[in-house]
Amino acid sequence: MTVASTLVLLRHGESLWNLENVFTGWTDVALSTKGEDEARQAGRVMSDEGLAFDVVHTSLLERAIATANLTLAEMEMSWLPVRRHWRLNERHYGSLQGL
């Protein structure tokens, strides 16, 4: 028996450094106000589409965690387990981070 599954990939909302066109990489930068709004909007869209999840995976970065939390809150699914792992962090840009 095959069970159908749906994988949803959601990038974090705009960060403060995205706003300034700065490489973030692993630098832990918060979401901008626009990024918070984008996360909530993503939650509304997924809720309107009838999507429901069993688990959420995110990086260790604040912007990704905040995006997940805001999205889940909008979907009224804040109770879901959120698993965090460094391997989901963005690319590490080394000395280019912050430029």
Active-site residue identified among 14, 62, 90, 92: 90
Is residue 92 part of the annotated active site? The answer reads no
- Catalytic residue status for 57: no
Task: Report the distance separating Cα 66 and Cα 80, nearest Å.
Answer: 14
Q: Which of 12, 14, 38, 74 is catalytic?
A: 12
DSSP conformational letter for 20 = T
Which residues are part of the catalytic machinery? 12, 90
